[in-house]
Structure 1
Amino acid sequence: MSLPLEDIRVLDLSRLLPGPFCTLTLADFGADVIKVEDPNVGDYSRWMEPTVNGQSPMFLSLNRNKRSVTLDLKSEKGKKLFKQLVETADILVESFRPGVMERLGLGYEAIKEINPQLIYCAITGYGQTGPYSQYPGHDINYLSYAGVLGQQGEQEGKPVSSAVQIADIGGGAQMATNGILLALFERYKSGKGQFIDISMLDGSLSWLQTVLPNFLATKEESERGQSVLNGGRACYEVYETKDARYLSVGALEPKFWVEFCKTIEREDLIPHLEAPLLQQNKMKVEIQTIIQQRTLQEWLDLFDGVDACVAPILNFGEVIDNPQVVHRQLIKEIYDPNLGKIQQIGIPIKLSNTPGEIRSQAPALGQHNKDILAELGYSAEEIKELSL
């Protein structure tokens, strides 16, 4: 069975999370993703703890279905080979600070002379332009500038970081994937590639669709923990159970709120779904007192079959055994030549005719040097002399 991107070649110069997550999606759907890595260190995530038998599970998960070639882009030999790879590529993804590739003589303006059809995607914290373009940063910093972190946390408490990298993945990787596919679609019409400037700050700010438009219209700040979807209502909250577990309640719509209140035997709360903040806080205390009287399983039994948008907060062990997660194949068991049977996160995008698949495991550093050089036309003797 053919895959949607099986005729597309991607050069991936990125490291760690945002770029590799983007190219993982492309690789899962058939693209030939070649990781271009430094000969000495490679992608830093190869060595990130914890490791299992010397291998990082994070690296293995992010870099399956890819190949690895090692090139020193500071050397003339490395640059020459890289340019030859560019001639064969459709897409290039990098995550250096603005200007790094230009200083190497490998920026977009130079590269497009070699391959005008190349789609060049640069993922950075703040974008290629602007007063912050050279600032260093991590996920927590991009979310801070975007205003996202300021919205996370409880009322009158400090901002709380997310357990997942919103800026790296949502603001960076997914925006990059979208941009690449849009540019690829446009290329089919024009025959030309283009430069894609992805800023993790830009992407994170665009996620504020439920709160920022309100501020733009009214200029009234949305205080942390007080918006409808951020702890401002009793119907959309987390409550602790008798056994120190937690129940999430998302009964935003009246029909769900009615069923929730009936189940906890507090029908007197039904008319107060949209009550002012002070009353909402009072209701939260009352509901918490009720939820505290039963264990998580007891509440799940009571809410079984009830349309109230109530769910248990699961730990990872429970997540991977959850029947919905199992049914959707979100955890896949695969074979790794070094580790044997291992589990990895599955493919979340479900295409009916051309679904993605896990075809190979993450490559060792420089594992495909000889294969890729042979594809460029080098003989076995020439490859030996290059000694990559």
Structure 2
Amino acid sequence: ANKRSVTIDAETEDGHELLLALIEQADVVVEDLDPGDAEELGFGYEQVSANRPELIYCSITPWGQSGPYVDLGFRASDIVLQGMGGPVAATGSPDREPLKLGGSLALMQAGLVGAWSVAMTLLRVEADGEGDHIDVSVYETQMGSRDRRTTSLTTYAYQGTPSSRRGGVAGLVLGGGAQPCLDGYVNITAIGPKIHQFVEMIGMGHLSGDERLMQPPLTLDPAFVEEISTAYLAWSMSRTKREALIEAQSYGMLSGVINTPEDLVNDPVFRGREVFEEIEHPVAGTFEYPSRPLLMGETPRQPASRAPLLGEHNAEVLTELLGVSAEDLPLLKGVGAI
């Protein structure tokens, strides 16, 4: 984590002063309060940057700092923002309701946009000393998402055609989609001419070159599709998912296993690149954690530190950075400032 945790109640008089003093020490301030709340507390961008033009202030909120949804006080969560701005309308089965993507993807994308915006602004500060107020709208990051959203907007702009749910790859090509194996699932996609290698791989080489293979399955004789599907299932269920992967790759087809968490932890690729680090935590215990997903040729990776406990570094940060005396710390805690 390599982070330090400080807890301050900015609504107390002493806490207010402490937070202002910390901001004076900071290059970057990131906040996600409702628009206007930071100003009411005395920590708005104009207030804290008045004497510090180099300060970078990043606000990440559902709708941004202005607009009709802000004026109406609309609330939002990840599923709301994915549905309103993201590709939910095009995700899932056409026979069912739309589906959100897994996890808190909208919030993660907004965080990445904020991080890159801060990094670019830091470069500008180093060049000419000018900071800025970065206003990140989670809603807008979804509307501009590369995950089918910008492409669907472009399609609508050019053709007036809205995006729709089309089912999975398995409904569009004969050799596509997740396929069960002896120990899980493998994902193989045989698109275009690769479909001929696909039928050879599953033991139906006599169909190689058959023009019907290039047609969408829904336009074909169901018996023909069933014949191929049955052979495909028999092929996959006689192999582990890794055996199926290796064989499909040998035919030059896009393919990959569908890994479980156990598979990822034991993957020789990750082990060989030393992706996992063992970290001891005073509450959770000692476990392995995935580290940063990149290696730098000339910069050795520094060991990661554990995630901090809430307020663990109050004394360290307040005494070292702000010059608060050790004797005053119990007093600040007693009045609820920390």
What range describes the TM-score normalised by the shorter chain of this pair?
Answer: 0.7 to 0.9
Give the letter for the 2:179 counterpart.
E
Mean CA deviation greater in 316-325 or 361-370: 316-325
For structure 1, which segment, 378-387 or 235-244, has the greater mean C-alpha deviation from structure 2 after superposition?
A: 235-244
SS of 2:5's partner is: strand
Partner of 1:278: 218
- The separation in 1 between residues aligned to 2:78 and 2:64, in whole angstroms, is 14
Q: Which piece of structure 1 moves more, 378-387 or 115-124?
A: 378-387
Question: Paired residue for 2:162?
Answer: 221
Does structure 1 retain, via aligned residues, the 8 Å contact 2:248–2:254?
no
8 Å contact from structure 1 (residues 257, 270) kept in 2? no
Q: Write the distance in 1 (CA, Å) between the matches of 2:36 and 2:226.
A: 54
AA aligned opposite 2:162: E
1:195 Cα deviation from its structure 2 partner:
0.8
- Deviation sequence 1:311-358 (CA, Å, 0-9, x none): 121211112212223334443322224444212222114333335544
> Which residue type is aligned with residue 96 of structure 1?
L
Give 1:218 deviation, angstroms: 0.9
Q: For 1:107-159, what per-residue CA distance to the aligned partner results, in whole angstroms no more than 9, with x for missing partners?
A: 11111124321111111112112222332111111011114111111232222
Equivalent residue, structure 2, for 1:91: 28
Name the structure 1 match of 2:143: 205
Deviation, 1:382, is: 3.4
**Corresponding residue number in structure 1 for 2:134:** 196
Structure 1 residues 211, 230: closer, same or farther in 2, change over 3 A?
farther
Matched-pair contact (CA < 8 Å) for 2:58–2:134: yes
Partners of 1:165 and 1:269 lie apart in 2 by: 45
- Which ranges of structure 2 fall in alignment gaps of 5 or more residues? none
Which residue of 334, 354, 366 maps to 2:279? 334
Matched with 2:270 is 325
Rounded Cα–Cα distance in structure 2 between residues aligned with 1:214 and 1:182 = 31
For 1:310, the equivalent position in structure 2 comes to: 255
| Contact kept in structure 1, 2:85 and 2:140, CA below 8 Å | yes
Alpha-carbon distance in structure 2 between the residues aligned to 1:255 and 1:274 = 8
Correspondence for 1:379 among 300, 325, 329: 325
Q: Gaps (5+ residues) in structure 1?
A: 1-63
Q: How far did 1:239 drift?
A: 3.2
Q: Deviations over 1:153-198 (max 9, x none)?
A: 123222223222220112x111111111111111112202111111
Q: Give the Cα separation in 1 of the matches to 2:166 and 2:61.
A: 30
The structure-2 alpha-carbon separation of the partners of 1:371 and 1:221, relative to structure 1 and needing over 3 Å to count, comes to same
Q: Which moved more, 1:274-283 or 1:156-165?
A: 274-283
Do the aligned residues in 2 keep the contact of 1:123 with 1:197 (CA within 8 Å)?
yes
The one-letter amino acid of 1:198's match is: V
Equivalence for 1:176: 114
Q: Distance in 1 between the 2:108 and 2:130 partners?
A: 27
- May I ask how many residue pairs the two structures share in their alignment? 321
SS state at 2:328 partner: helix
Q: Which whole-Å CA distance do the structure 2 matches of 1:140 and 1:314 have between them?
A: 25
> For residues 183 and 256 of structure 1, do their structure 2 counterparts lie closer, same or farther at Cα, with a shift above 3 Å needed?
farther
Amino acid at match of 1:109: E
Equivalent residues of 2:175, 2:195 under 8 A apart: no
Q: 1:260 aligns with which of 183, 186, 198?
A: 198
Is 2:196 aligned against 1:250?
no
Query: What is the aligned-residue identity percentage?
Result: 28
TM-score, normalising length: structure 1: 0.73
Query: How far apart in 1 are the matches of 2:90 and 2:306?
Result: 39
* Contact 1:68–1:367 (Cα < 8 Å) also in 2: yes
For the residue of structure 2 that corresponds to 1:163, the secondary structure is coil
| Structure 1, 272-281 or 110-119: larger mean CA deviation | 272-281
| 1:112 maps to amino acid | S
Please list, as runs of the form range in 1=range in 2, the aligned pairs for 1:1-388 lying within 5 A after superposition.
64-133=1-70, 134-170=73-109, 172-207=110-145, 208-225=149-166, 233-234=172-173, 237-241=176-180, 243=182, 245-252=184-191, 254=192, 256-264=194-202, 265=204, 267-268=207-208, 271=211, 275=215, 278-279=218-219, 287-293=228-234, 294-295=236-237, 296-297=239-240, 299-300=244-245, 302-303=247-248, 305-354=250-299, 356-374=301-319, 375-387=321-333, 388=338
- Per-residue deviation, residues 20-65 of structure 1 (Å, max 9, x unmatched): xxxxxxxxxxxxxxxxxxxxxxxxxxxxxxxxxxxxxxxxxxxx21
CA distance in 1, matches of 2:175, 2:153: 19
Q: Give, in whole Å, the separation in 2 of the partners of 1:128 and 1:231.
A: 43
- TM-score, normalised via structure 2 length: 0.83
Q: Which amino acid aligns with 1:376?
A: L
1:201 maps to amino acid:
Y
Q: Is the 8 A contact 2:152 2:162 kept in 1?
A: no
